[in-house]
Homo-oligomer: A and B are copies of this chain.
Amino acid sequence: MIPTKACPVTTSELPVDPVFALHRGGKIEIRSTARVRDREGLSLACTPGVAKVCEAIAADPGLADTYTWRSHVVAVVSDGTAVLGLGDIGPLAALPVMEGKALLFKDFGGVDAVPIVLDTTDVNEIVETVVRLAPSFGGINLEDISAPRCFEIERMLQERLDVPVFHDDQHGTAIVVLAALENASRLIDRPLSDLRVVVSGAGAAGVAVAKILLEAGIGDIAVGDSKGIIHAGRTDLVGMKERIASATNTLGLTGSIEEAMHGADVFIGVSSGRVSEAAVASMSSDAMVFALANPDPEVDPAMAMKYAKVVATGRSDYPNQINNVLAFPGIFKGALEVGATQITKGMKLAAAKALADVVGDDVAVDHVIPSVFDQRVSPAVAEAVAKAAREDGVLRPRH
């Protein structure tokens, strides 16, 4: 029989690993919201009734938002080139992650999401493919696409589509980091404009974190890649890294990431590198360490706690978990609710602010970001994003 309920599974088959048991048969399904129980229902939902709805949308395409599921469904699109810590494992092996994302979209944001894994890694082919299937969806969540291809794919899709296109590995991470940093800086009573930040990693997450911190008015930020700190004097930089060089590092730091950490207030690790204990110890007295690489962070969180005032990780077994699920369900929920045509800078900053504000007066060194199970998060983020979209005037006409 076709499995329609995947969990819990009580089977005597091997493997009995609870991970495999939970994933057996997949983690999502389609359900009808307009069940057809008799001939009358069938004639309303399908032929001949549906023809009236089709004709109405043909005459006025805006009605598709009202009379289809388009206003509440997004595509979770990946080519499987940068999956978790696994790298380029291809579309089929990436599918369980995209299903998991769809599950989180629904359970945490009430947003329907469909996993779309693509059998191509060519930038233009990915863009063309997504553009062609775009009438089916009210938004596009790009996922686990390797840098620097992800930057170009997102930019091209944003230019060509009138629905939100959001690469979560970039902006989801950046928004949650900014929210945590806002609360952490409140704790040490220093404004963001006063902080010097070092980001280890110039991939999707590192670039997006740098951008949003600049937009939020951070004091200074230096970004490092595998060859050290990115600065204007480096001759090996092209594309996004060239733009990073000109937009960051006002102090003109050169050399290694560890050297840059000397006296820095914030370290944000989103790379596969390693950072020594001495480098962490050399940071400022109120240091904040975000050791985010998964599953192996650049800095052991236990070690970081010896020196840093605030430590955040990507892991659920430490306080201050930087988890994108705090952002993307609410962001798309808010954007879809008002029919936003894009996710603007203002909407991202508003999401971070709303997320930080959920913590409010409960802020503490082990609580700079809400729990992923805090049910206030998604509605708060959605409301802030919807409001910012209205203020930015990026709404489709609605009926």
Contact = CB atoms under 8 A, between A and B. Distances in A.
B45 A100 contact: yes
Interface stretch (A114-122, A164-172, A341-349): A114-122
B51 A64 contact: no
Contacts of A84: 47-48, 50-51, 54
B103 A55 contact: no
A89 B58 contact: yes
B111 A114 contact: no
B34 A49 contact: no
Nearest to A96: B53
A84 B333 CA distance: 33
Nearest to A115: B136
Nearest to A60: B93
A83 B54 contact: yes
Contacts of A64: 92-93, 95
Given A84-B54, A89-B55, A111 B68 contact: no
A72 B333 contact: no
A374 interface: no
21 contacts: A1-B110, A1-B337, A4-B33, A7-B33, A7-B34, A18-B44, A24-B66, A25-B71, A26-B69, A42-B372, A43-B316, A46-B97, A46-B104, A47-B314, A50-B96, A54-B94, A54-B97, A64-B93, A118-B133, A119-B134, A120-B132
Interface of A: 1-7, 17-20, 22-36, 38-39, 41-58, 61, 64, 66-73, 83-86, 89-97, 99-107, 110-120, 125, 128-129, 131-136, 294-295, 314, 316, 325, 333, 336-337, 372-373
- CB-based closest 8 A-B pairs: A26-B69, A7-B34, A58-B93, A91-B135, A30-B112, A57-B93, A27-B34, A6-B33
